[in-house]
Amino acid sequence: MSHVLTLIAPPAGLTSAHLAAARGALMALGADCDAPDWLAENEAVDLPFAALAAEQAIAAARGALGDAPIDLIAQPAEGRRKKLLLADMDSTIVTSETLDEIAAFAGLKDKIAEITARSMNGELDFQQALIQRVGMLKGLDASALEETWKTTELTPGAAVLVATMRAHGAHTALVSGGFTFFTGRVAELVGFHEHHANTLLLEGGKLAGTVGMPILDRDAKLATLKRLAASLGLALTETITVGDGANDLAMIQAAGLGIAYHAKPVVAAAARHRINHTDLRSLLYAQGFHAAEFAAT
């Protein structure tokens, strides 16, 4: 079969009835469907199909499933397992926006979080929004960074995603519009091969209110994807990217498998693939990994 539709639900949330509904919807449009392959019992299943475009398959399956909390990924069957992972950090690999959490120590979390949200939804220029937010924190004691790190949590599935891809020979990189103070720690904790982010400048143990130049933004994320792929001798079709904000959209659209993960509306609308209901293990299911193949963490 030329294509595969992957259905992914929270644990125990996927039934044979869901699969039958999706399969019936594809066949009603003239698709040929092969036997399903359960990647994880009652959680993820592959449905191979042909004679139907991926976009049509998604639309048909979604129509049949209604508002059931099931994520759907449709793609060519060949080359599903990717050799380079590029992941955003804030609200992707970790659950929080670290700059917003730093701002809490200055009593500015709500104000800065509002700017962050607008920037991540593409309503504000990323570079200017970052400069503005960091400037508002000038003079804040640098201990706020360490205190923020103490409460930073990994997104469920982050560690197993990276460990499994590494175990199968993929190169992994963390690329963030946030700060190296956090990406370095997250990369070490999760196991990324490398990390790239902005530098938050300090003066006398306090935040200087400035960011090192040049700023890592949407264009820089895309450039990092292209540079790493070229250095590894990979086509972009052999890469997978994941992120949630507007500054991730270019790398999401350029990758062979670009995932908008619990993304802002503007990003979800523009991405080919979306994960809205499940955790980061879904990126492994989308590549055809069975749960039994997941690496231990």
What fold is seen in the domain 1-78? Answer: Alpha-Beta Plaits (3.30.70)
- Which position has the token pair 């809490």? 104
Determine which one of 90, 217, 244, 279 is catalytic: 90
Determine which one of 88, 100, 244, 248 is catalytic: 88
> Quick one: what percent of the chain has pLDDT higher than 70?
100
* Domain boundaries of the chain, sorted by first residue: 1-78, 81-297
How many CA within 13 A on the CB side of residue 292? 3
* Known catalytic residue at 217: no
> Does domain 81-297 sit in CATH 3.40.50.1000?
yes
State pTM to two decimals.
0.96
* Known catalytic residue at 90: yes
Q: Do domains 1-78 and 81-297 have the same CATH topology?
A: no
pLDDT digits (tens), the chain, 297 positions: 899 999 999 999 999 999 999 999 999 999 999 999 999 999 999 999 999 999 999 999 999 999 999 999 999 999 999 999 999 999 999 999 999 999 999 999 999 999 999 999 899 999 999 999 999 999 999 999 999 999 999 999 999 999 999 999 999 999 999 999 999 999 999 999 999 999 999 999 999 999 999 999 999 999 999 999 999 999 999 999 999 999 999 999 999 999 999 999 999 999 999 999 999 999 999 999 999 999 998
